[in-house]
Every structure is written in C-alpha cells, then in structure tokens.
Amino acid sequence: MTLSDDILLSRPVESAELRRATPRWRLAGYAAMILAVLVVGLPVYWTLIAAFKESREIYSIPPSWLPLRPTFANFAAAWEAAPFGRYYLNSFITTFFGVAAEVTLAVLSAYALAFLRFPRKDLVFLLLLAALMVPVEITIVPNYLTIARLGWINSYAGIIVPGAAIAYGTFLLRQAFLVLPYEVIEAARVDGAGHMRTLLSVVIPIAQPALVTMGLLSLVAKWNDFLWPLIVTNTSDMRTLPIGIYWLRNSEGVINWGVVMAGSLFLIIPVMIVFLWVQRYIVDGIAAGAVKG
C-alpha cells in the first residue's frame, strides 16, 4: 500500500469525525449566542415593560413579564418632571458636532498615517498607540483646567472640543485604510488626483463600512456620555439626556421606576433608530467593497 492509498483511506475517517464534531460545536455556538442575547436583552426588555407598568406592579413579587395594566402615564410624567425638550436639543447639538469633528479628524489623521511619508511617522503611530492605553478618567482634570482657562465652562464648546480627537478612531481607520487596494489609489494619482481628491473620491467610498462603524461607535459614546457633561456644566439648561435621567431618578422620593424607565427610553430610542438606519449602509458598503476588491 502506497502513501497515497493511506491518505485516501484516512480522509473518510477524518470526514466522519468532523461531521460528528460539527453538531456539538454548533450547539455550543447556539447556546453561547442565546446566553449573550439573554444577558444583553433582558435589561433592555425589563426597561421597556417597566415603562408601561404602574409602580405597585413593578415592585410586585413575583414579577410579571408583561404589563398587566399597560399605561402611558409614565411617559407624560417623565416629560413633565424634567425639561426633556432642552435635554434633547443639547444632546443633539453636542452629539452631531462631536461626531462630525471626531470623524473628520480621524479620517485626515488616518490617511496621513496610512499613505503619506513624513519624518518620525512610526514614532507618531507609537504615540497614538500609547494614547489608547491612557484611561479617560486621567484626562478629566487637565481637560477641565484647560476648558476653564478658555472660559468654556457650561458651554457647548466645553462639552464638544475635548472629545473631538480620539486615538481609537484614528487607529481603527488607519488599519482599514491599509488593507485597501493600493492599485486603485495609485491609479487615482496617475490620473492627477491630489491627496484630498484621492481621499474624497477613492478612499472614503471604498472604506465606507469602517467609516460608518467608527461613526456609529462615536455617536453612541457621545450620546450616552455622562461624566464629562456632568463636570463641565452647572446649569439645567446645558444638561444632556443622561444627566437629565440621573436628576429625574434623584428627584423622586421613593423612586418611581416607571417614570425613570420611561425617561430611559427617551435616551435609547433615538440611538436605536439611527442604528437601524445606518445598518443598511454598513451592508451596502461591505457588498460594494467586495465587488471592488
């Protein structure tokens, strides 16, 4: 019997073992996925149903997994208990301009690190990686002192500017730019396109999935940001939604969790709508990138 005969005889055995092992791994994967959905989804589901429950039903034992007497009174009470209209306006302004600034700076710096040649380029990237290791809490005091000296306390600029440049966004986009087909970029340069034209007409369209992902991460982070807006603002008319929900919780004597959960939905629903809208662009961008590649 030759070596090739041994290989042919061993292949069916290996295939049979693989078929027997595959269902076990598939079941383990399904179990892990169900566990992840439960861990992530149960708090969101409880927030949703508690917003439609009366207070005594929320505190009842055993708990009910569906509202026995659904009510919309919690939403009206939450809206009247705090100036949520103003909170929405502040959150929209700080999130929109904050995301726009962060994405713009990340795209420009990532393009420079990926495609330009300049002295100490590796050192700049090393410093960028070092910035990723620094906890955000360490930068709070220096940022606050800088904002105070500039006179930006209790202002939109004070909330937006310190978070306009994030090392993670630059790192993420640089890695995405490096895997782009370099022949397309070279072809644009041969046609006479400068760096800005190449960036706008070639790099950004091809790297759309990475850009949308980075923008979505930035949007969620800035929309849900609590600590920095709390520190840098000192009047109610400059508060954002997360701080408004915190004060809504503290304004209740015995906490009315139905009102608090209704206020939390005011915070969650806009992000969910944006995610459902952006999800299509992520899929389209991945499909377009696959065709172009």
Q: Can you give the residue ranges of every domain in the chain?
A: 3-50, 73-292
> CA-to-CA distance for 109 and 78, rounded, in angstroms?
43
> CA-to-CA distance for 275 and 267, rounded, in angstroms?
13
pTM: 0.79
> CA-to-CA distance for 289 and 205, rounded, in angstroms?
9
Q: What are the backbone dihedrals phi and psi of residue 194, each rounded to the nearest 5 degrees, phi first?
A: -80, -175
Q: Is the dihedral of CA 169, 175, 179, 185 positive or negative?
A: positive
Q: Which residues contact 142 (CB under 8 A, 6 or more apart)?
A: none
Q: How far is CA 25 from CA 19, 21, 38, in A?
A: 10, 6, 20
From first to last of its 293 residues, the chain has per-residue pLDDT tens of 554 555 444 445 455 555 555 677 788 888 888 898 888 888 888 888 888 888 788 777 887 888 888 888 888 888 888 788 899 999 999 999 999 999 999 999 999 988 888 888 888 888 888 888 888 888 899 999 999 999 999 999 999 999 888 888 888 888 888 888 888 888 888 888 888 888 888 888 888 888 888 888 899 899 999 999 999 998 888 999 888 888 776 655 557 778 888 888 888 888 888 888 877 766 654 444 444 44
Q: Which residues contact 244 (CB under 8 A, 6 or more apart)?
A: 82, 83, 84, 87, 263
Burial of 118 (0-12, 13-18, 19+ CB in 10 A): exposed
> CA-to-CA distance for 228 and 243, rounded, in angstroms?
10
For 73-292, CATH number?
1.10.3720.10
